A = this chain, B = another copy of it.
């Protein structure tokens, strides 16, 4: 995941209406929710919600599909997995490579870092 993509995903989630909408979609799971249902749940005007959903979609966090008159939004779990992978690998303890062996708090590397797993298989 490139740095500018990460910024996009973080920025998309760093807004209360958008984080709420995303969480709602995660709760709804694979089936997703229609835009109207989200607007009602979050008590937002349709046009405001549309703006926020576009941001989430642009960041790759959610997908859109049409079902009759409704547009159904659902989470793209892979994007979140990639974000978590990035943060774990690039922004967490044991990541720098500059630590003096035997120094520090003695906490071993966490699973993904130790095994060299990446979030984008």
Tell whether A26 pairs with B92 under 8 Å between CB atoms, given A3-B16, A10-B14, A14-B11.
yes
Q: Which residues of B contact A13 (CB under 8 A)?
A: 10, 14, 91
**Inter-subunit contact B90/A81 (CB<8 Å):** no
**Residue A87 at the chain B interface, CB threshold 8 Å:** yes
Copies, count: 2
Give the residues from 68 to 84 in chain A that come closer than 8 angstroms, CB to CB, to chain B.
75, 77, 80-81, 83-84
Q: Is the interface of A mostly helix, strand, loop or mixed?
A: helix
Q: Name A's B-contacting residues (CB within 8 A).
A: 3-4, 6-7, 10-11, 13-16, 19-20, 22-23, 26-30, 75, 77, 80-81, 83-84, 87-88, 90-93, 95-99, 103-105
